[in-house]
A and B are shown apart, each in its own frame.
Chain A
């Protein structure tokens, strides 16, 4: 079972760190759970765990659960002041219980391993030479290292279906571009600092573009509108330009 295997591997490298979460109001109809101040992988895993456990309780009054890098927001509905106070207290208590669980137990049901075909060739890789120069690697090595990585979806944000992926080889860490592009094409595969990402929509963006996938990261007409969800594992598969064009021409289901 590949999912179980991934979880076991994750567990084996995880420390037995414990977190004392801060649970703070986010406006008057949500709570923000703060697990860490820096991008700690265990805190990230725990953020997803907290989100999963809160969802699993299927409370009708919880309206949104949003795991981010090391924080989780839980939105709730409450008609009266008394009801709001009671629900905040119940959520806080529950979150504190979940946070006591060892992060190594982090078996995430429902997460998937998703292979994403990427063409690392011109014209989809305008910053590849620049990244190579800054890292002192050959462009082919940049591609090889990027495609060899096993990545985790740390969170989805910025735009619908836009993943923040952790697990980039530190040798590929480069800062953002000095001046952001006015328009980045959807499907663009990008790196900045110690993360990689895929632009899901045409937006302005400052990350370094090294490839493009023909897959739609977001399609509201699909049953799985967002190709990726927090906790998913991502593998990039290099494809030549011809294969890109072929895949781009046909609608691909998530």
Chain B
């Protein structure tokens, strides 16, 4: 009952919804960098949204299920294949034991989540199964998956998978064969966090130190297009564009940071803090990305562009509420597909 790594990926880590509540001890909240996609991936295999999934960045691993298993890949659009067929995204796929799952490159977006019925059963450390790379704990040995890593699955993954796949394919009375090795359903979940435009707008609230920046910097941050730098990671996305500078040198005492904080180190290149950010920092903060737009920002791969636009707190609240409704609506819709009793 395990998932084996035949070929490792650039950065594949076990994630769940993280371990909030410990930031006063320097422990970042962590968890899926795009929690929306993590939750939808879980819904697609009938899991609760806190089950652990595999977060795959940019280029995926080759994996092998040792038992028949129901899985789903959701988030960034990846090219993925089974033995003798393409593996579709965003729907439950029932994979026979011994079938290698090749997850290729991201074609749109940055992070995808592979959910398995019953979840990835790695040990809970400090309240979560998520990998916390800066603290070297959680997930699979506190690290990204390496060759021959073995991820434990739920002890009843076979029974759970068979039963859930039957339910997931009953309502539409059809399921599609994917070669000899897998089957899937005729429905799928639409993407929620991928952007349709080349330079999508991320809305921001003013950062605590916005007024300390010189006039040109303030204008440039909101006016210019920014590119996500290649050395971006789960800790933060570095943004390439004009250099931002303070009007005059100011010493800032270390203070709490959060997911979405855009801070500017002395080199002038802003960093948008992501899931594994440090809990405190002493760099000036130019902006805070609103929480509704953080998953969309997380899905911008290195080299992709983004723009920032000022929002009000009311707009941020409304956007957060709207995204929550969208996510809940989609999860309900997916669970409806799993409902074996009909309406």
Q: Are A72 and B205 in contact (CB under 8 A)?
A: no
| Cβ–Cβ < 8 Å partners of B230 in chain A | none
B223 within 8 A of A: no
A162 to B26, Cβ gap below 8 A?
yes
Is the CB of B326 closer than 8 A to any CB of chain A?
Answer: no
In the bound complex, do residue B255 and residue A71 qualify as a contact, i.e. CB atoms below 8 Å apart? yes
Chain B's nearest CB lies how many Å from the CB of A106? 17
A220 to B314, Cβ gap below 8 A? no
Residue of A nearest to B203 (CB): A28
**Which of B28, B254, B278 has the largest number of chain A CB atoms within 10 A?**
B254
> Inter-chain contact count A-B, CB under 8 Å?
142
Bound complex: CA A161 to CA B27 (Å): 8
Set of chain B residues within 8 Å of A65, measured between Cβ atoms: 24
In the assembled complex, B10 has its CB within 8 A of some CB on chain A: no
Residues 227-270 of chain B, each 1 if its beta carbon lies under 8 Å from chain A, else 0: 00000000000000000000000000111101111000000000
Q: How far is the CB of B294 from chain A (nearest CB, A)?
A: 9
Minimal Cβ-Cβ distance residue in A for B313: A25
B24 touches A229 (CB 8 A): yes
Residues of B within 8 A of A39 (CB): 253
A68 lies within 8 A of B135 (CB): no
CB contact between A51 and one of B24, B136, B261, B281 (< 8 Å): that residue:
B24
Smallest CB separation, A49 vs chain B (Å): 13
State the Cβ distance, A153 to closest chain B Cβ, in Å.
11
Contact partner, A30, options B134, B258, B314, B320, Cβ 8 Å: B258
Bound Cα distance A32, B290 (Å)? 15
Q: Given A25-B313, A218-B135 in contact, is the A80-B321 Cβ separation under 8 Å?
A: yes
A85 to B313 CA separation, bound complex (whole angstroms): 9
Assess the A69–B26 pair: CB atoms within 8 A. Answer: no
B291 touches A81 (CB 8 A): no
Residue on B nearest A71 in the bound complex, by CB: B255
* Nearest-CB residue, chain A, relative to B20: A63
B138 at the interface (CB under 8 A from A): yes
B311 and chain A: residue at smallest CB distance: A28
Interface 1/0 per residue, B19-34 and A, CB below 8 Å: 0111111111100000
Check A32/B26 contact, CB under 8 A, given A63-B21, A66-B279, A220-B137.
no
Once the chains are docked, how many angstroms separate the CA of A3 from the CA of B281?
30
B316 at the interface (CB under 8 A from A): yes
A159 within 8 A of B: yes
- Bitwise, B171-208 to A at CB < 8 A (1) or not (0) is 00000000000000000000000000000000001001
Assess whether B317 is in contact with A28, with CB atoms less than 8 Å apart: yes
Closest to A200 in B: B26
Q: Which residues of B contact A221 (CB under 8 A)?
A: 125
How many of chain A's residues have a CB under 8 angstroms from any CB in B? 49
A68 vs B279: C-alpha distance when bound (angstroms): 10
Q: Closest B-chain residue to A30, C-beta based?
A: B258
Q: Mark A55-80, 1 if CB is under 8 A from B, else 0.
A: 00000000111111111110100111
Q: How far is the CA of A63 from the CA of B20 in the complex (A)?
A: 6
| Residues of chain B within 8 A of A124, CB atoms compared | none
CB-CB nearest in chain B for A218? B135
A85 to B259 alpha-carbon distance, docked (Å): 20
Instruction: Report if A81-B314 is in contact (Cβ < 8 Å); known contacts: A30-B258, A71-B255, A220-B137.
Output: yes
CA distance A218 to B26 in the complex (A): 10
Q: Are B136 and A68 in contact (CB under 8 A)?
A: no
The answer on a CB contact under 8 Å between A158 and B27 is no
Contact A28 B291 (CB under 8 A): yes
Instruction: Tell me, rounded to whole Å, the shortest Cβ–Cβ distance linking B122 to chain A.
Output: 13
Most buried by A among B23, B261, B288, B290: B23
Q: Nearest residue in B to A51 (C-beta to C-beta)?
A: B24
Whether the pair A159, B24 counts as a contact (CB closer than 8 A) is no
Partner of A32, one of B23, B137, B253, B256: B256
User: How many Å from the CB of B314 to the closest CB on chain A?
Assistant: 7
For A88, give the chain B residue with the smallest CB separation. B313
Interface membership of B318, Cβ < 8 A: yes
B306 interface residue (CB < 8 Å to A): no
- A157 & B254 in contact (Cβ 8 Å cutoff): yes
Residue of B nearest to A36 (CB): B253
User: Does the CB pair B27–A225 fall under 8 Å?
Assistant: yes
B289 at the interface (CB under 8 A from A): yes
Chain B interface residues (CB < 8 Å from chain A): 20-29, 125-126, 134-138, 205, 208, 253-256, 258-261, 278-281, 288-291, 313-314, 316-318, 320-321, 324
Partner-B contacts on A (CB < 8 A) = 24-30, 32, 34, 37-39, 51, 63-73, 75, 78-81, 84-85, 155-162, 164, 200-201, 218, 220-221, 225-226, 229-230
Closest 10 CB pairs of A and B: A157-B280, A73-B256, A81-B317, A28-B316, A226-B25, A220-B137, A27-B288, A71-B255, A160-B26, A66-B256
Instruction: Give 26 CB contacts A-B under 8 Å.
Output: A27-B259, A27-B289, A28-B205, A28-B320, A29-B291, A32-B256, A66-B280, A70-B255, A71-B256, A73-B23, A79-B321, A81-B314, A81-B320, A157-B280, A158-B26, A158-B278, A158-B280, A159-B278, A160-B25, A160-B134, A160-B135, A161-B26, A164-B254, A200-B26, A218-B135, A221-B125
Q: Told that A73-B23, A160-B25 touch, could you supply 11 new A-B pairs with CB distance under 8 A?
A: A24-B208, A25-B288, A28-B288, A28-B320, A37-B253, A68-B255, A78-B317, A157-B278, A160-B27, A160-B135, A226-B25
